[in-house]
Amino acid sequence: MSNAPPPAAGPLLETEGLGRRFGGLSAVEDVSIGVHRGEIRAVIGPNGAGKTTLVGMICGRVRPSAGRVRFEGRDVTRVPAWKRVAAGIVYTFQVTSIYGALAVRDNVALAAQRRLMGSPGAWLRLDEAALAARVEGALRTLGLDVHRDRRAGDLPYGHQRLLEVAMGLALEPRLLILDEPTQGLAEHEIETFCERVRDVASRATVMLIEHNMKVVLRLATRITVIDRGRVIADGDPASVEADPEVQRAYLGRR
C-alpha cells in the first residue's frame, strides 16, 4: 500500500531555527521543518538524537533556547502548553497515562469534557449530547466502543495505548503527537495500532516519534530524521530510506 502525498495547502506547523541547550549541551540545534495538514509525519533518529526535546518545544512542555514555533500561521513559541492544547496541539506520552480505576468511556469523557469546557463559563452550557457523541466517536475510531464499560486498568496493554490516543482524539486535535506509541506492543497489536492511526489521520494531522522502521515506512507520508540534534534528512519514505547519511547514522548500514 503506497503512502499518499501530503496536501498542497500551507503548513499547519512550522519550526524556524529551533534549538534547545541544557547547560553546555545542545540537544536540538537549528531545526526548521514544516508539517502540512493531513500528513502522518514521522520523526526518527538514534536514541538521544533530540526527538522528544523537539516535540516538547512544539507542544510547549520545553522552552526553546532559540528559534520559533508557528501553528496555523501564529507564533506560539511562548504560548504555554495548556493553551496549545486548546489551540489543537495534543501530545500523548511514551507511557500510558490513563485512569485505570475508571471505565474506558469515562476516561475519554474526561478528555472530551476538558475540551468542551475550555472557555470561561462553558460549564453553564455544557451539552451532554455533544459530549456523548464526541466520546462515542473517539471510541469507534480507535475500535474501543466494544470495551466502553470495561475498567481501563483491565485492558491489555495495547488497548490501553489505543485508549490514550482516543483520549487525545476527544480533545479534537489539529495536530496529534504520538511519542513511541508502539513501544511494548506485540506484533498483532502493532498491526491493529497502525490501522487505527490511519483512521485518526482522516481527522487530525499526526506527528509520530517511532523507532520501529516497519511502522514508520508503513504509516508515514513524510519522514524527518534527526541525529545529534540536527535534521539530516527530510522527505518521502523511499528517499529517506535510500539516503546514505540516514543509513549510516540510523539504519546501521554502510
pTM: 0.85
Note whether residue 142 is domain-resident: yes
Q: How many residues does the chain have?
A: 254
3-state DSSP call for residue 60?
A: coil
Note whether residue 217 is domain-resident: yes
CA dihedral 72, 78, 80, 86 (to 10 degrees): -20
Do the beta carbons of residue 149 and residue 103 sit within 8 Å? yes
Determine the structural domain holding residue 240 and report its residue range. Answer: 11-251
Note whether residue 5 is domain-resident: no
Note whether residue 4 is domain-resident: no
Tally of structural domains, the chain: 1
Phi, psi of 118 (to 5 degrees): -75, -15
Give CA–CA dist 63/172, Å, rounded.
Answer: 24
Note whether residue 2 is domain-resident: no
Note whether residue 97 is domain-resident: yes
CATH number of the domain at 226, please: 3.40.50.300
Note whether residue 3 is domain-resident: no
Residues 6+ away with beta carbon under 8 Å from 73: 10
Residue 37: enclosing H or E segment and its boundaries? none
Note whether residue 84 is domain-resident: yes
Closest CA to 109 of 140, 136, 81, 145: 136
Closest CA to 142 of 169, 180, 115: 169
pLDDT tens for each residue of the chain, 254 residues long: 445 444 445 799 999 999 999 988 999 999 999 999 999 999 999 888 999 999 999 999 999 999 999 999 999 999 999 899 989 999 986 556 789 999 999 999 988 887 666 554 444 455 678 788 889 999 999 899 999 999 999 999 888 988 998 999 988 899 999 988 888 888 888 888 898 899 889 889 999 998 888 899 999 999 999 999 999 999 999 999 899 888 887 766 55
